[in-house]
Amino acid sequence: MNNISFEKGIECGTSIFIARSKVLIQNKQAYLPQDTLTICCRMWMTDEGICDEGQIFARTRIQFENISFVHKIEGFDELEKDQEETVDIESSLGEKLFVSIGIFEINDPCCEEKIVVEIIPEDKDQIEVISCMLHLMNASRETVKCGQLDNRFDLVKKEDFKVPLIFSKKMLIDGKTEYLPYNTLTLRCDCTFSTGLEFEKIEKAVYGLHLMPDAQTTQNGFNELSNCPTALEDFTYLYKEQILTDVKLQTKTKTFSSHKTVLIARSLKFRSLLVDEKKKTNECIDVSDLDDETVERLLLFFYNDVVKDLQYDSAYKLLKAAEIYKVQRLKMACTSFLMDNLNTSNACKLLVLADMYQDLSMKTTVEDFILEHEEEIFRSDSWEEVMDANPTLAMKTMHLKFKKKGS
């Protein structure tokens, strides 16, 4: 926040600014509660006359849109150098917005040919690409992060936006069985666009009332309750900034710092470890049964009660974590997501999971789905794996088919 004075038409003020990265990433919780930047600017004029003191409240809202889509390139191994595969995506805004996606190879003098996703807004003057996250869908229908670019820190507006994949063409073809089912490259793109100003206006102006404080002015000014961080946001800030942490969770490759009180409040398993058993060595808890990403998601849920950007694989792992560490609310959220995304490719895996954790509701839902798609599922390799690993479960599921026919 800077003080600026205008003296005889000359602008004066400080040149000290806060780094964009600190505002947008490192200390976002403090500077951008609810993605809102609040700035207080003091100005005064000096001349021969007397200027009444006043307060002016202005608001600007920048419009953003998130677009997610899946793009497939069939016959990928036949894709030639600089050959483009394009797709037009229509915005959900009232006005039409099209984004052309071009996927082509580039020669890198230091390594193999790379695959690049190029995003070109149709109206470059009004639309700016802010960020893009790319995931590759493998043969198991799991998503693998393969590219990311963030344009928020680039002060120079670009004519195009290119996101290189971490996989070269050779790497994808060599791993064709895993990455190119049916010789098809399947990419999920999650893009954020800035489409200009939604509105900008002066909301309120008050003059000559500096000796008569107006409670309503304060209430409706920049101190609005909606702009203040919530309790959950404050707790999340404690975790992200690692303030006064007093316990560590150790995976096979990484250590996570947290707060005992939060673990105790959110997980019956951690409550047992930290309170009931009263172990003296509880400053570091072994969670090597979980991977790093799952632990990070689990801890964030403990602090803010939200699971963001769930995919099938992350939801499956989180459900296992919720069962192990007795987090019922998280278990319900993950189960609901998995049931909403139940399909013939994952039904067998989810049946085994539901049976393992004795989740009757989930198991019944999966069983009904399997019987509705029995011809495709019972002929699949996944079902053969169920019969080999858990013949009793397979037998009981197939028995349901005849029981339902009999009734």
pLDDT at 286: 92
What DSSP string describes 204-269?
EEEES-TTS--HHHHHHTTT-GGGSPPHHHHHHHHHHTT-S--EEEE-SS-EEEE-HHHHHHH-HH
CA distance 102 to 88: 10
Token digits of residue 16: 């000290």
pLDDT at 217: 46
Q: What SS3 class is residue 288?
A: coil
Q: How does DSSP classify residue 283?
A: T
CA distance 157 to 125: 10
| Locus of tokens 């019987």 | 371
Could you tell me if 249 and 288 are in contact, meaning their C-beta atoms sit under 8 angstroms apart? no
pLDDT at 131: 81
CA distance 164 to 72: 17
Q: How does DSSP classify residue 229?
A: P
Q: Chunked in runs of 10, what are the mean pLDDT values of the chain (407 residues)?
A: 38 60 67 73 62 73 80 80 70 54 59 74 71 85 83 60 82 86 87 77 68 47 61 87 91 93 93 74 82 94 88 93 93 91 93 92 91 91 93 90 69
Minimal CA–CA distance to 113: which of 77, 161, 149, 167?
167
Starting at the edge strand found earlier in the chain, the sheet holding 3-7 runs: 10-13, 3-7, 42-46
What DSSP string describes 82-119?
T--EEEEEE-SSSS--EEEEEEEEE--TTSS-EEEEEE
CA distance 210 to 219: 15
Token digits of residue 244: 């006064």
Give the side-chain half-sphere CA count within 13 A for 369.
20
CA distance 370 to 361: 14
CA distance 76 to 79: 5
Which helix (H) or strand (E) segment holds residue 370: the answer is: helix 360-372
pLDDT at 6: 35
Is the Cα torsion angle 137, 142, 144, 148 positive or negative in sign? Answer: positive
Contacts 24+ apart (CB under 8 A), 142-148: 142/311, 142/312, 142/313, 143/188, 143/311, 143/312, 143/313, 144/179, 146/187, 147/117
Token digits of residue 134: 């790319």
CA distance 144 to 139: 11
Could you tell me if 4 and 41 are in contact, meaning their C-beta atoms sit under 8 angstroms apart? yes
CA distance 384 to 369: 17
Q: Is beta strand 42-46 parallel, antiparallel or unpaired with respect to 128-137?
A: unpaired
pLDDT at 158: 58
| Locus of tokens 């919780």 | 29
pLDDT at 251: 93
pLDDT at 59: 80
Starting at the edge strand found earlier in the chain, the sheet holding 255-258 runs: 255-258, 247-250, 284-286
Residue type, 158: K
What's the whole-model pTM score? 0.47
Residue 226 φ/ψ, nearest 5 degrees:
-65, -20
